[in-house]
Homo-oligomer: A and B are copies of this chain.
Amino acid sequence: MRIALAQINTTVGDLKGNSEKIIANIERAKRLGVDCVVFPEMTLCGYPPEDLVLKPHFIADNIKVLRSLKRHSRGINAVVGFVDRDSSGRIFNAAAVLSDGKIAGIYHKQHLPNYGVFDDRRYFVRGENNPVFQFGKLRIGLSICEDIWPDDGTHIEQAKRGADILLNMSGSPYDIGKLEIRQKLLARRAKEAQAFVFYVNLVGGQDEIVFDGGSCAYSPKGNVLASARLFEEDLLVLDVDSSVVSKKKRDKNVAALFSGKEGKKPGVSAQVRPASEKIERIYQALVLGTRDYVLKNGFKKVVVGLSGGIDSSLVACIAADAIGRENVVGVSMPSQYTSAGTYADARRVAENLKIGFHEIPLNPTFDAYRVALKDVFKGLPEGVAEENLQARIRGNYLMALSNKQGWLVLTTGNKSEMAVGYCTLYGDMSGGFAVIKDIYKTRVYELSRYRNAIEGGQVIPQSVLDRAPSAELKANQTDQDSLPPYDVLDEILMDYIERHRSFKQILKHIKEPQTVQRVLRLVDQSEYKRRQAPPGVKITPRAFGKDWRLPITNKYREY
């Protein structure tokens, strides 16, 4: 018995494109002698489709396309995710087992996540049946994503009913520690159920979410037997000796025979891909998330404001790696406050990366604003208004290029800045995609060093890594004039944002009450800015996106 896990990159709403991809993978599986090919969660409509499933015609169309897939299942079985609707209009997150030209069975997801980035209960009704599919001599317990996560998940009942294999179709978003958590969970579930676990995960970026793939197979002893690529499409083919499996004797009954490009012959030994380092995975997630946002939204090129600072340098690298250096344009927009060092570094980053480069001067436009605003500003001291104006002129330059050339603007703000509001609405926040909005400043440095290391040279100049961060919006300004050092700041932020720690709890290990109070106040006061920020790649367990739903009007202050 040969089973293939088709780890594909779907696009939300692209019923035609997704079904073509499904068909191509079915055909490929047939050529490889596969008996059953399994796809990730909501294969047909893409995941998460969000409020698209509130449109009755969208669901009707997705069912129509599912039916058109039936004929491709002649001589093979294919398990495909879709949105199901019953006769009373209830909607389900579902999987169809296509077999020999027919729909042989349908499964409805039972555990509907409604936390973090997930809103499953906004749309779906909980499935009621927990079928174990007989597949030759094998009993397969089918489940969808969350179904296998809670301790009272579908695996309990499926194990009782003698499932040999727990087959889970997932759309499990990447975050920084998720892979290890997932691996441990799947190993535990395999042992608990005394069954093999075959896990197929989605891969690709969808708005702020990145699915990391990493489909895999576990033995009943909890050993990993095979794993697919991370952050890339893959087809993992597993041979199952059903006569032995059904006795549940040994780990070797399932061997990953093949994982990789078509054309290679199936091998004989299980292939387990070593997971890359955390920092590498973060970088890959940023690259994939950026690539898919840009390309799936129909853009070919991007433009990045290059300040000569570390944030924009890193974003330029990610952009070049995502869509090719020939499709990235850097723009330097120096002002009277731009130092010679940053001025030179902006150009140097563009040269090192071999991306396009433009320079547009800021001062004349800034002067025009000052003249225009002279009367209404009369008698008032210079301050934030003038600083923000400079950021906004730069934002306008980039948007003008975007409008004129059809390039997508990538913003360059990091999570530390987004958290405390150290960023300008309609200024440096202007753009379609905020690549590193979930990367703390300390991690920006880590990633920059990582990027330099894999290039085997200094793409990001050492001077950029060494210079004290500054917005350069007034004379002799550095970030640390108004913020604590970034290592302290980031520790406070992680405590407050990701660990839901209170002011008092944070004080237990950061013994600077005034600093902590200031940071917490800045975070709370900046909600209105975050609400108008572009989306960006989710990296942490709690990003400033769908998993961060704080009210703007909010008088809660515990400090």
Q: Which residues does A use to contact B, with CB under 8 Å?
A: 11-15, 17, 46, 48-52, 54-58, 61, 114-115, 119, 121-122, 205-207, 292-293, 296-297, 358, 360-362, 364-365, 367-369, 371-373, 375-377, 380, 383-385, 388-389, 392-393, 395-397, 399-401, 403-405, 425-426, 430, 432, 500, 502-505, 528, 531-535, 548-558
Contact = CB atoms under 8 A, between A and B. Distances in A.
Nearest to A395: B426
Contact of A556 (B15, B119, B360, B548): B15
Contact of A532 (B206, B400, B534): B534
Nearest to A17: B555
The 9 closest A-B pairs by CB, nearest first: A13-B556, A368-B368, A385-B403, A57-B502, A14-B555, A426-B426, A385-B404, A13-B554, A365-B368
Contacts of A46: 555
A544 to B, nearest CB: 11
Contacts of A56: 500, 502
Contact of A534 (B54, B360, B368, B531): B531
Contacts of A385: 400-401, 403-404
Contacts of A380: 404-405
A413 to B, nearest CB: 14
A397 B426 contact: no
A121 B112 CA distance: 11
Contact of A553 (B55, B115, B293): B293
Contacts of A500: 54-56
Given A365-B365, A372-B397, A556-B13, A49 B430 contact: no
Contacts of A372: 360-362, 364-365, 397
B400 A389 contact: yes
A535 B556 contact: no
A502 B396 CA distance: 37
Contacts of A552: 207, 297, 535
B365 A369 contact: yes
Contacts of A502: 55-57
Q: Which of A292, A385, A548 has the most CB of B within 10 A?
A: A385
Nearest to A57: B502
Given A55-B502, A57-B502, 19 more contacts: A12-B553, A13-B556, A52-B550, A56-B500, A57-B505, A58-B556, A114-B121, A121-B121, A207-B552, A297-B553, A360-B372, A360-B375, A365-B369, A376-B404, A383-B404, A385-B403, A388-B403, A532-B533, A532-B534
A388 B401 CA distance: 11
Contacts of A384: 403
B425 A549 contact: no
Contact of A399 (B388, B399, B405): B388
Nearest to A333: B372
Q: Which of A367, A377, A392, A535 has the most CB of B within 10 A?
A: A392
A52 B58 CA distance: 34
A535 B528 CA distance: 9
Nearest to A502: B57
B360 A371 contact: no
A375 to B, nearest CB: 8
B399 A528 contact: no
Q: Which of A15, A58, A115, A426 has the most CB of B within 10 A?
A: A426
Contacts of A533: 532
B376 A358 contact: yes
Contacts of A383: 403-404
A242 B551 CA distance: 42
Nearest to A496: B55
Contact of A551 (B13, B361, B405): B13
Contacts of A548: 51
Nearest to A504: B57
A61 to B, nearest CB: 7
A505 B56 CA distance: 11
Nearest to A555: B14
Contacts of A558: 57-58, 61
Given A55-B500, A367-B368, A368-B365, A11 B532 contact: no
A113 to B, nearest CB: 10
19 contacts: A12-B556, A13-B551, A46-B555, A50-B551, A52-B554, A55-B500, A57-B503, A57-B504, A207-B551, A358-B375, A360-B376, A361-B372, A373-B401, A376-B401, A380-B404, A385-B403, A392-B392, A426-B430, A532-B532
